[in-house]
Chain A
């Protein structure tokens, strides 16, 4: 079965505005959103920026992304049902590129996901 993954792309150094890029992947035995992202970065599009130095087992708490609009730890998040999934960077931090945010540069907001002491 195919899965369409809509991914937020933006390099503030050069791009005028963000855009969404659509990738089509096979649903495989891998279950997690993180697995899909690793597959995209390694095999499909190495220019896609998604944090890579991750523990992949709920300890580092830096694999956060918005999955269909909801902020999720992608190593704990199963790929949602349906044909399409949208992946965006989490809110509240300065964006470096694509899905990668700068956890050292929080943007003051009313509600913010706490990553510091997770």
Chain B
């Protein structure tokens, strides 16, 4: 039996690719407006995707903890923390949608932690003017995902068909418009063509392009690459957020984060191998209570400059956090369960881990990409969070843009265009080109991920980026030769080969974008340009694909709602 010998065809109004929070929300909204929806998941529906892993906070300015909070304040916090690189229209839309999304989730059955008199409990974290983070302990993302899944499975009025274990390999375009997608049905082994009047990408971030990450193992970025391949613009691809504190030892736990940012406020302390509380040197007042990008950078430098621990981390000390025992018990996943791997949770080693993809597919306030018929929502998009994301802003982003994209896609149907047999044959050829006498995919995959962490991660330099550019050129060549071994049915090895292809292509965009941005801002830090340059670089880097590689342009950020604070930010940046 040959691999991908069978073909299946499906038709729908709106195809949603990816079943995390953004995808589920988009599917619900599109169905609400009468569209027949197909929602695909490359893993187990409701279980794969990074949403499940989102630990604690969900920022929405309901103002229960402090009545002075409002969507305007959330918008301002988001833009200030994003170092003014945010698309302010998107950030505003996001902040305006956040409150509603809380009640949407409640309607779907999500339980939020509340006070005795029924108000939402809201936590604070670095960068928030007022406590804003609603939550359900360390399982906020998981509870949210479960609520969304329940809502989708409710049989009463939804017209959503879920197809799980379906790996979408390519978007299909005709006359400048996306008309559907082609994928591999892992369960049946068939090649599947799905025709759709509109397609929404909700495929998440690309953490798996880095050797140390806390993301779900499917967060490989091929959704972003698919959009790029059909001509969609990508924005801010040099921006990647690292979470400062993740386990480094034992090796099995490397990259898994220590929740949550609230601990930094509560009195967590960091020490280098010599026992110095190094953050005191740089921030005598705030100490560890600084934004994520800054804390990540200092931890990384501490380790890079030889003051790290034996396993390449710094020490976290939780012993001075009041009531830490209570927190420990409430968060068994983070603390208690690590005991069985020998982690002492009063004092342990941590280092930064890849956490969030800030850049991505360029969208407008309705979730439209720059290609007709193609929408995007959630982490695969760029522009909402600018150069740095606040704790608690990721999940409401998924809900906000899932909703607006779902609605717009349902209300503005394109034509139903059949995917012809030639397209299917072309996709099959492209996929099967990766099958043959084994040339290990892992060689390319691993080398790329290590390269990205080393040269295109927390600390960058023109020299390191130029070296990365060279090596990626080699990897691109090697990627054309990698082969996964023949089997009767599709294997995860084949999917990994497809993902690796996409990763190499995106790596090129990331490196070129990082080379172009000759300043430091938020998550993008260059040792050769260590200061923010607000005169020349309040601009977004936009990438488009050409046969010769990525073509980059820059566009000025439109500071249409928030401008005055640029001055304040300049003062702050000068200290970084």
Chain A contacts to B: CB under 8 angstroms: 11, 13-14, 28-32, 34-35, 41-43, 45-62, 76, 78, 96-97, 102-104, 117
Q: Which residues from B are CB-within-8-Å of A43?
A: 440, 442
Report the minimum CB–CB distance from B254 to chain A (whole Å): 9
Tell me if A53 and B251 are in contact (CB < 8 A). no
1/0 contact trace for B24-50 toward A, CB 8 Å? Answer: 000000000000000000111101111
Q: Is A52 in contact with B218, judged by CB distance below 8 angstroms?
A: yes
- Contact of A14 with B441 in the complex, beta carbons under 8 Å: no
Interface readout for B516-546 with A: 1 if CB under 8 Å, 0 if not? 0000000000000000000000000000000
Pairs A-B, 7 closest by C-beta atoms: A46-B493, A53-B43, A53-B218, A53-B48, A29-B251, A14-B488, A60-B47
> Which B158-208 residues have a C-beta within 8 angstroms of A?
164-165, 186-187, 189
Chain B residue contacts of A31, Cβ below 8 A: 250-252, 341
User: What class of interface size applies to chain B in its complex with A?
Assistant: 35 or more
Q: Which residue of A lies closest to B438 (CB)?
A: A46
Q: Is the CB of B496 within 8 A of A46?
A: yes
Q: What is the chain A residue whose CB lies nearest that of B483?
A: A46
* Contacting pair B438 A54 (CB below 8 A): no
> Pick the contact of B256 from A13, A30, A56, A104 — CB < 8 Å?
A56
Residue from the list B141, B187, B496 in contact with A102, Cβ < 8 A: B187
Is B142 part of the contact surface with A, judged by Cβ < 8 Å? yes
List 13 additional A-B contacts (Cβ < 8 Å) besides A52-B492, A53-B44: A28-B251, A29-B250, A30-B250, A30-B251, A32-B341, A42-B442, A47-B487, A48-B493, A52-B496, A55-B217, A60-B44, A60-B53, A60-B216
The verdict on B107 contacting chain A, using a C-beta distance below 8 Å, is no
Q: Is the CB of A59 within 8 A of B489?
A: no
Does any Cβ of A come within 8 Å of B474's Cβ? no
> In the assembled complex, which residues on chain B have CB atoms less than 8 Å from the CB atom of A29?
250-252
A-side contacts of B328, CB under 8 Å = none
Roughly how many angstroms separate A56 CA and B23 CA in the complex, as a whole number?
21
Interface residues of B (CB under 8 A from A): 1, 42-45, 47-50, 52-53, 139, 141-142, 146, 164-165, 186-187, 189, 214, 216-218, 250-252, 256, 333, 337, 340-341, 438, 440-442, 445, 484-489, 491-496
Q: A53-B42, A53-B44 are in contact. Are A47 and B485 (CB under 8 A)?
A: yes
Contact A14 B1 (CB under 8 A): yes
Contacts of B340 in A (CB 8 A): 76, 78
Verify B341–A41 contact, CB threshold 8 A. no
Whether A55 and B216, one on each chain, are in contact in the complex, defined by CB atoms closer than 8 angstroms, is yes
Within the complex, the shortest CB–CB distance from A33 to chain B, in Å, comes to: 10
In the complex, are the beta carbons of B52 and A55 less than 8 A apart?
yes
Q: Tell whether, in the assembled complex, residue A49 and residue B43 are in contact, meaning their CB atoms are under 8 Å apart.
A: no
Q: Could you pull out 6 A-B pairs where Cβ atoms are within 8 angstroms?
A: A29-B252, A53-B49, A76-B337, A76-B340, A103-B44, A103-B47
B484/A59 in contact, CB under 8 A:
no
Contact: B488 with A11, CB < 8 Å? yes
Are A49 and B337 touching (Cβ within 8 A)?
no
Q: How far is the CA of A5 from the CA of B51 in the complex (A)?
A: 32
Does the CB pair B341–A47 fall under 8 Å? no
Report the minimum CB–CB distance from A10 to chain B (whole Å): 11
B341 in contact with A78 (CB, 8 Å): yes
Contact of B52 among A28, A35, A60 (CB under 8 A): A60
Which of chain B's residues have a CB closer than 8 A to the CB of A57?
A: 53, 214, 256, 333
Q: Hey, which chain B residues are within 8 Å of A96, CB to CB? A: 165, 186-187
Q: How far is the CB of A68 from chain B (nearest CB, A)?
A: 17
Per the bound structure, the CA–CA distance linking A97 and B489 in Å amounts to 9
**Residues from chain B with Cβ under 8 Å of A62 in the complex:** 43-44, 47-48
Chain A residue, CB-CB nearest to B249: A29
Report the separation of the CA atoms of residues A35 and B487 in the bound assembly, to the nearest whole angstrom: 23
Provide the bound-state CA to CA distance between A114 and B62, in Å: 36
Pick from B48, B486, B487, B495: contact of A60, CB under 8 Å: B48
Nearest-Cβ distance from residue B34 to partner chain A, whole angstroms:
26
Q: A41 vs B146: C-alpha distance in the bound complex, in angstroms?
A: 29
